[in-house]
Amino acid sequence: MLRLLPRGVLCLAALGCTGARGARLARVRPPRAPCRASAAASAGGAPPPPDETAAAHADRVVRLHRDLAAAAVGGEGGAGVARAAHNARQAAVFDAAVDWFASAAATPPDVEPRLRRIAAAALPADGARAAPPPRVLDVGCGAGALVPFLRERAPALDLLGLDLSAKMAAACAARHGARVLCADVVDWADAEAAAGRGGAFDAVVFNACFGNMHSPRLALRAACTAARPSGGRVVIAHPLGRAFVSRLRAEDAAVVPHELPADARALAELAEGLPLRLVALDDEAPADGAGGGGDGFYCALLERWLPRPLPRVMLLRGEVSRGYGRGSAQLGVPTANLREQDFAGELAHVPTGVYAGWAVIEGAAGRAGEVVHRAVVNVGYSPTFAGAENAQKIVEAHLLPGGPSGRENGGGALFAPASFYGAQMRLLLCAFVRPEHKFESFPLLLAAIHKDVDEAARVLSEDELAPFARDPFLLMGLAPDGTVGLRAGRGSGASGPVRALFKTVDFALARSAAAMQKSTP
């Protein structure tokens, strides 16, 4: 769930941004066009005169935009049609607008301070010149209006631009030497795979395009997936402000189907269930109050947060069962699975999502050779497999190699064990990574899984969670009579009844007990 930090904790001014409300320009022309949609309309007319006010220029663009809408360039669009149809309309509209976007009129000099503010939100001063260079995903990059300002902050920037318009993508690449892909942000993982590059981005920026998305929710979720897990930034911005986007939407909702999120509550609803927190929201109203004259400013800065410890640690023991044959066969991610039916309804109350913790396969090498493995665990129904979702909630544990330290056997690679169906697994879950999602494609799902692995491996190595590798439950197992206090559920194995056990323990108490142990197996 999105977290809202107090305004004083961190705001855009603290990030080195300039041009706060008191210094707002009184007469500002749009940075490229007032937004992706309005710029397309501008393609049908002459560039604005150099002395035109922001309000006059906005009126000119809206009139041209109205004419473009009447011509129905590119067919139908908007939230009410399929994403493919909407994207086709966007591509056609902005293919037609490429000459305007690539002209000097698209980015007047007196708007540069606003673009610098957006670039500063994406790349704070302490990270702009980091080594290795920061990676930025510029969504809806157009002809590259934001690129020079990002490079001002990070000259060695590793930039990837995305745009639905092939002509826009080509223009950005030609003008700025940028790497640009013609792709929807929702399919960014597919595009990255096709380009042969992977990894997380330090910032994902939606500059003057978020209202054009077919589904802002899907776009934000994809951006969250793309962003670096620990502190990666997602910026939703428009140099001319929220009221201007509303005005354009009123003219043609087929091209601009959505408003910008109006406040922290709207952003929280949009990001519900995503590991994002709101750092700052700068929503400057236009001087005319509500007319959308183009002299507002909007910038929402969100940040990825790390997995959070569970208030109560979950302890599970059960028989490893055959899953649905998808982890290894379709994703190359082997799992050890526990069934909901073996836990007498206890799992029904466990929220679906991805967890981090520790696991032991009993008897894998005899009691003396049992190894405590770091584990990334999904509890849920696998909704990405449309039409073949799990019939019941299942616990799927991905075991990482190398024991608690992770230094052996290749570090963070996924553990590929020998068959352990029918063996008993002890599992301790101590942190929540993210909610369970239905992804649009298998590449997106696989990218999220590998990000989950990296995130869990990192958080389990930190002082707060590392002691759980020495928990008595993992090291010593259960007494035959169940005196540890775990509830016995129902289950059966090949050789008779099996005790499927579940319990929750206060985090602080469990951590204290684990810390008292001297070593891991």
* Catalytic site positions: 396
* End-to-end Cα spacing for the chain: 37
- Cis check for the bond before 132: say yes or no (omega within 30 of 0): yes
In 10 A of CB 399, how many CB atoms? 24
Cα 26 → chain centroid: 36
Sheet strands side by side (includes 3-4): 3-4, 276-284, 297-304, 233-238, 203-207, 135-139, 158-163, 179-182
> At what angle are helices 216-226 and 188-195 packed, to 10 degrees?
40
Question: What is the Cα–Cα distance from 246 to 261, expressed in whole angstroms?
Answer: 11
In this structure, what DSSP letter does residue 14 have? Answer: G
Question: What is the Cα–Cα distance from 186 to 216, expressed in whole angstroms?
Answer: 10
Which neighbouring-strand residues pair with 378? 354, 396
Residues 6+ away with beta carbon under 8 Å from 325: none
Question: What is the Cα–Cα distance from 224 to 214, expressed in whole angstroms?
Answer: 17
- Please answer whether residues 315 and 428 qualify as being in contact, where contact means their C-beta atoms are separated by less than 8 angstroms: yes
The one-letter amino acid at 498 = V
Question: What is the Cα–Cα distance from 83 to 77, expressed in whole angstroms?
Answer: 8
For 252, list phi and psi in degrees, rounded to 5.
Answer: -155, 90
DSSP string, 320-369: -B---S-TTTTTS---EEEEGGGGTTGGGGSPPEEEEEEEEETTSS-GGG
DSSP string, 104-126: GGGS-GGGHHHHHHHHHHHS-HH
In 10 A of CB 333, how many CB atoms? 19
